[in-house]
Amino acid sequence: GVNVTDHDLTFKSLSELIQNNITPYVASLQAKDCPGIKNLMQKLMGQLMNCYVDVDSSDEEDCAQVSQNRIRCSMTSLISWYENITKKTDSETPSRKRTSSRHLQSPPVVIIFKDMESFTTKVLQDFIVISSQHIHELPLILIFGIATSPMIIHSLLPHSVSSLLCIELFQSLSCKEHLSTIIDKLLLTTRFAFKLSEKVLQVLINIFLYHDFSVQNFIKGFQLCIVEHFYSQPLSVLCCQLLEAKKRVNSLSHSQCENIRRLPSFRRYVESQESEKQIALLTSDNFLKEAVQKLLEDLHVYHENYVPVLRCLHVFTSSLPKYPLGKQIRELHCACLESRVWESEDYESSLQLARMLNKSDLVTMLQKCVEIFVSSSGKEFDKVVEKLKDFLAQFQKPEGACQEQEESISSQKELQKKTDLYHLQKTLLELKESRRSKKLTKFEILRFEVVDFIDSLVRNYLVPADHKTLHEIMYFNTASTLREHLNAAPRIALHTALNNPYCYLKNQALKSDGGSISNKAPDICIVYKLHLECGRLINLVDWLEAFSTVVTAVEGPNGDAAVSDQVDDIIHARFIRAVSELELLGFIKPSKQKTDHVARLTWGGC
Amino acid sequence: SLSKKMKEDKMSNPVEEYFEAHSSSKVLTSDRTLQKLQKRRLNQETLRDLLKKAPFPFAAEIKELNEEHESLFSKWMLQLHLGFNIVLYGLGSKWDLLEKFRISMLQESVHLVVNGYFPSITVRSILNSVTEEVLEHTGTFRSPLDQLEFIMKRFKEDSSLELYVVIHNLDSQMLRGERSQQILAQLSSLPRIYLIASIDHINAPLMWDQAKLSLYNWLWYETTTFSPYVEETSYENSLLVQQSGSLALSSLTHVLRSLTPNARGIFRLLAQHQLENKDNPSYPGLSFQDFYQHCREAFLVNSDLTLRAQLTEFRDHKLIRTKRAADGVEYVLIPVDDSTLTDFLEKEDEDV
């Protein structure tokens, strides 16, 4: 895949695996180390010999030899080294023979090319041609890491070279699957007290899906969330396992209690209580601590129940056509965290669809749900499981279907009996009537019941976390800081600073409306503004004059004719400074097209 | 459909503007030049003096901004220790801010300050200062990559080593090359090397690809300071400032880049010759005849005249100096100090 940053780990584990199971001779090469065939050979030799030393670091002599050998590295020396090694392994270490008995005489040498795309074609071709000539003496296996598609082999290597290779393709897991496992293991468990709020998760997923597909970056973002949360939120001390948290609640200081009282979710809680309790909560620390412990317990139970119900709902919604609530469980998770999920239109339509499911699907789904609930640790699910099993059992009974069949058969029989037109019409009408008013079959009733039951589960347990008291302790929810630090836009920052300095410098004199800029603004802003009005090339003299006109307009009232020369020089100097700053920032560059002109490197309004 | 059309208009606007700006090769600007302005050109010294006299508006607000940034220092330290590296962006020089950070937080520990805006800085000099002063290793390395490997090995072995690296202007002319960034990124990915850097150029993020970004592990901080780029622009060769002093490495490379391959070869030949004789104090330079012979052997020129023309061009750019010795023979010299010349040749080798 294109997520090059994650590949290192894969290659590392791959080479370890090969080293342990098949052959001790594994080397991995990176394009940046090998600009020429000489460097490549050197690196390769070094790695192979080091590999060898790594595996049996018994003889010191060999080590010294190796470092000497590094100076002159050629294919012949590699081969002779290899022959030596194989001889040695044959005679000296029978243990290895046993492990790699299949390649008794010659364990293959594996070379991993980590990033095939960035290698120079010539180096690669040369290496392949050279090594293919020595394949009899030196059994080589090359592994290429390809970020794009296998087509690249054929476009990088000419036919004569690629025919020397015997290619077999392997596919690695797509990065999306990695992401879903990570979300599964990291977010949708109760093992970790730290949680992400909907917006933060959305930002992380967006960066993943729209920018880099890199799981490592996702993890980095997650790490940043943890750091930020524990750094900025004073109550994050309570963000740990329940027992530990209860202990810590007891040892809270008075100011920390005040912090709790200040939490918006706690205020909401207080307002919903009776007046006496309110007073107690707001004044007595001890009473508050007790209440907080209870609330934390609630929160914990909520988490325990949340995950299995979410998975259950996912089982239902993921099989519906068009996926109204999303295909992946992460989308469902986001939707549930965002607002009350049962109020959304998507949820409504998915329930409608669920009411039309056929029997076999429903049964398999229910079975899955039972599995989920059984494996979950929540205490309240015994009843739920019982109920679900009950449903299942009822489905297993074939009555519902039989009844239906009987009915239809009998009616058909009636149809066959009566032959004259009048009777036929009558019975048909009756049949219609009966169908319309016919009671739902048992199956259908059951189906409704199941769906309603699921619905009630959702309503009970999937309340968004924002509505819970004390959710601030566990949930990190400042998405803006995350976006700022991970996915910054330096160009926009520069643009606003130059265009509208008021954003940063809170001075009334700088406040301006629309596109115009106050003439008291910093020099660089004025120069920038003037340069925006120009085309591709800018005449320095005109620019300077425009600048001095703007600036002297400010100083005009108290400017004297006598000192004007002095002032002129200063303005000139200021102009030079501002222009060279713009050059440093990359907005303009000196141009040779015309004397004393500079070229603009940006276009339009930014 | 009208609203849709409006939307399309808006969408294509920046693109349109680009083509509008570049459509006509003719540019309508006035023909006035600075020569006619009857103004003496300023040199660096007078410029600095004049700027000292210039008013400095909004000092209070700028101070407020800076204080806001300074309150983040302890957070930066925490995040550096957690394996992130910090990059600062925004308008205004971040030199003072980083210097304050250094003074307030890094006094106690080993740290390295790199002035990226300095025009003859190279990655090699950064690596040298790491190996020589931090690791106290006196030895030379064949290539920066070997040196990097050595550093990485030492840092992995010795867990007591810690190093803070402060880089002003990571995006400067000399450090923005692909190879230098690669090396710096790898350096910064070491767990006990903490990097804090500043960037200014609008296109600075273009120099990092996925792999480098993940090595750098950046946390971005916007630190708009509005303070003038005093140090940074003092080396920027503005059109309006009189040039003085010896040739800097960056200008050398720039001039050379715009020449033909043969001309570059000629200059290279001369430079190599001069470096071979750098220990000989009485070396007068390469005589023209010898020079011509060498160039002919390397198929760089085909006649006396072409070489002379080429040398004239070099002389116009102040790349060479010629002088006549007592015996009347013309000698050619490059008036650049040897270290710059060595750096230049190395850089050329990398590019080829």
The rounded distance, in Å, linking the Cα atoms of B135 and B154 is: 8
A587 CB neighbours in chain B (<8 A) are 202
- Is residue A570 within 8 angstroms of chain B, CB to CB? yes
- Residue B207 · residue B171 · CB < 8 Å: yes
How far is Cα of residue A169 from the mean position of the Cα atoms in its chain? 27
**Strand pairing report for A26-29 and B330-333:** unpaired
Mean pLDDT confidence for A485-496: 84
The rounded distance, in Å, linking the Cα atoms of A573 and A304 is: 68
B22 CB neighbours in chain A (<8 A) are 536, 603
CB within 8 Å: A214 and B214: yes
pLDDT at A110 over 70: yes
Residue A465 pLDDT level (bands cut at 50, 70, 90): low
Residues 425-444 on A with a CB inside 8 Å of B are: none
Which of A33, A491, A541 is nearest residue B33 as measured by Cβ atoms?
A: A541
Q: Which two tokens stand for residue A181?
A: 């496992």
CB within 8 Å: A542 and B32: yes
Residues 306-365 on A with a CB inside 8 Å of B are: none
Residue A430 Cα, gap to closest chain B Cα (Å):
54
- Residue A582 · residue A522 · CB < 8 Å: no
Residues 14-33 on A with a CB inside 8 Å of B are: 32-33
- Residue A395 · residue A362 · CB < 8 Å: yes
The rounded distance, in Å, linking the Cα atoms of A589 and A585 is: 10
Residue A606 pLDDT level (bands cut at 50, 70, 90): very low
Most trustworthy range by pLDDT among A416-430, A447-461, B219-233: B219-233
- Is residue B233 within 8 angstroms of chain A, CB to CB? yes
Angle, CA A92 vertex, CA A90 and CA A95 arms, to 5°: 80
- Residue A322 · residue A181 · CB < 8 Å: no
Question: pLDDT of A498-522, one tens digit each?
Answer: 888 777 776 666 666 555 666 677 7
Mean pLDDT confidence for B84-91: 88
Q: Which helix (H) or strand (E) element contains residue A33?
A: none
Mean pLDDT confidence for A355-368: 72
Name the residue of chain A whose CA is nearest to B182's CA. Answer: A32
pLDDT at A243 over 70: yes
The rounded distance, in Å, linking the Cα atoms of B90 and A295 is: 44
Average pLDDT, chain A: 73
Q: Say what the alpha-carbon torsion angle B191, B194, B200, B204 is, to the nearest 10 degrees.
A: -10
Q: Say what the alpha-carbon torsion angle B182, B183, B189, B191 is, to the nearest 10 degrees.
A: 180
What per-residue confidence (pLDDT) applies to A24?
66
Residue A192 pLDDT level (bands cut at 50, 70, 90): confident
Position B159, amino acid: S
CB within 8 Å: B91 and A498: yes
The rounded distance, in Å, linking the Cα atoms of A47 and A49 is: 5
The rounded distance, in Å, linking the Cα atoms of A590 and A575 is: 15
| CA nearest neighbour of A509 among B290, B28, B57 | B57
Residue B123 Cα, gap to closest chain A Cα (Å):
16
Q: A389-403, B49-63, B181-195: lowest mean pLDDT where? A: A389-403
- Is residue B257 within 8 angstroms of chain A, CB to CB? no
Name the residue of chain B whose CA is nearest to A569's CA. Answer: B50
pLDDT at B289 over 50: yes
CB within 8 Å: B82 and A597: no
A212 CB neighbours in chain B (<8 A) are 210
Instruction: Give the SS3 label for residue A140.
Output: strand
B148 CB neighbours in chain A (<8 A) are none
CB within 8 Å: B27 and A581: no
How far is Cα of residue A355 from the mean position of the Cα atoms in its chain? 34
Which of A505, A583, A596 is nearest residue B236 as measured by Cβ atoms?
A: A583
The rounded distance, in Å, linking the Cα atoms of A447 and A362 is: 8
What per-residue confidence (pLDDT) applies to A484?
84
Question: pLDDT of A34-53, one tens digit each?
Answer: 777 777 777 777 777 766 65
Domain segments of chain A: what residues?
1-52+106-172, 188-397+439-473, 490-600
CB within 8 Å: B233 and A584: yes
What per-residue confidence (pLDDT) applies to A103?
44
Q: Say what the alpha-carbon torsion angle B321, B281, B270, B340 is, to the nearest 10 degrees.
A: -80
Residues 542-561 on A with a CB inside 8 Å of B are: 542
The rounded distance, in Å, linking the Cα atoms of B20 and A605 is: 13
| CA nearest neighbour of A493 among B116, B212, B225 | B225
The better pLDDT of the pair B5, A11 is held by: A11
The better pLDDT of the pair A87, A234 is held by: A234
CB within 8 Å: A539 and B22: no
Q: Taking CB atoms and an 8 Å cut-off, how many pairs form between chains A and B?
A: 191
CB within 8 Å: B84 and A224: yes
Name the residue of chain A whose CA is nearest to B46's CA. Answer: A573
Which of B32, B82, B228 is nearest residue A227 as measured by Cβ atoms?
A: B82
CB within 8 Å: A577 and B47: yes
CB within 8 Å: A586 and B201: yes
Mean pLDDT confidence for A540-555: 80
A541 CB neighbours in chain B (<8 A) are 30, 32-34, 36-37
Count of residues in chain B? 352
3-class SS string, chain B: CHHHHHHHHHHHHHHHHHHHHHHCCCCCCCCCCHHHHCCCCECHHHHHHHHHHCCCCCHHHHHHHHHHHHCCHHHHHHHHHCCCEEEEECCCCCHHHHHHHHHHHCCCCCEEEEECCCCCCCHHHHHHHHHHHHCCCCCCCCCHHHHHHHHHHHHHHCCCCCEEEEEECCCCCCCCCHHHHHHHHHHHCCCCEEEEEECCCCCHHHHCCHHHHHHHCEEEEECCCCCCCHHHHCCCCCCCECCCCCCCHHHHHHHHHCCCHHHHHHHHHHHHHHHHCCCCCCCCCEEHHHHHHHHHHCCCCCCHHHHHHHHHHHHHCCCCEEEECCCCCEEEECCCCHHHHHHHHHHHHHHC
- Is residue B298 within 8 angstroms of chain A, CB to CB? no
- Residue B178 · residue B126 · CB < 8 Å: no
CB atoms within 10 A of CB B273: 17
CB within 8 Å: B29 and A484: no
Mean pLDDT confidence for A102-108: 57
The DSSP secondary-structure symbol of A231 reads: H
Residues 219-278 on A with a CB inside 8 Å of B are: 220, 223-224, 227, 231
Most trustworthy range by pLDDT among A351-355, A409-413, B146-150: B146-150
- Is residue B322 within 8 angstroms of chain A, CB to CB? no
Q: Which two tokens stand for residue A331?
A: 């989308």
Name the residue of chain B whose CA is nearest to A499's CA. Answer: B91
CB within 8 Å: A603 and B18: yes
- Calculate what percentage of chain A has a pLDDT beyond 90: 0
Q: Which two tokens stand for residue A563?
A: 């000192």
| CA nearest neighbour of A114 among A9, A11, A1 | A11
The rounded distance, in Å, linking the Cα atoms of A25 and A44 is: 11
Mean pLDDT confidence for A408-424: 53
Which of A5, A569, A585 is nearest residue B202 as measured by Cβ atoms?
A: A585
- Is residue B33 within 8 angstroms of chain A, CB to CB? yes
Which of B30, B36, B53 is nearest residue A542 as measured by Cβ atoms?
A: B30
CB within 8 Å: B240 and A486: no
Which of B21, B47, B217 is nearest residue A573 as measured by Cβ atoms?
A: B47
A584 CB neighbours in chain B (<8 A) are 200-201, 229, 232-233, 236
Most trustworthy range by pLDDT among A137-141, A389-393, A451-455, B73-77: B73-77
| CA nearest neighbour of A2 among A117, A113, A112 | A117
Mean pLDDT confidence for A197-210: 87
CB within 8 Å: B27 and A535: yes
User: How much is the ipTM here?
Assistant: 0.73
- Is residue A493 within 8 angstroms of chain B, CB to CB? yes
What per-residue confidence (pLDDT) applies to A60?
38
The rounded distance, in Å, linking the Cα atoms of A265 and A124 is: 62
pTM (predicted TM-score):
0.74
Q: Using the CB atoms, write b or e for A449-467: b if 16+ within 10 Å.
A: ebbeebeebbeebbbbbbe
CB within 8 Å: B89 and A490: yes
The rounded distance, in Å, linking the Cα atoms of A122 and A128 is: 10
- Is residue A603 within 8 angstroms of chain B, CB to CB? yes
A484 CB neighbours in chain B (<8 A) are 220-222
What per-residue confidence (pLDDT) applies to A579?
84
Domain covering A490-600 in this structure, CATH number: 1.10.10
Residues 174-213 on B with a CB inside 8 Å of A are: 182, 199-205, 210-211, 213
Residue A239 Cα, gap to closest chain B Cα (Å):
20
What per-residue confidence (pLDDT) applies to A466?
67
CB within 8 Å: A507 and B58: yes
CB within 8 Å: A594 and B27: yes
pLDDT at B102 over 80: yes
How far is Cα of residue B262 from the mean position of the Cα atoms in its chain? 26
Residue B278 Cα, gap to closest chain A Cα (Å):
28
- Is residue B323 within 8 angstroms of chain A, CB to CB? no
Q: Which two tokens stand for residue A541?
A: 């003299």
Question: pLDDT of B305-320, one tens digit each?
Answer: 888 888 888 888 777 8
CB within 8 Å: A490 and B65: no
Compute CA distances A551 → A416, A531, A544, whole Å: 104, 15, 10
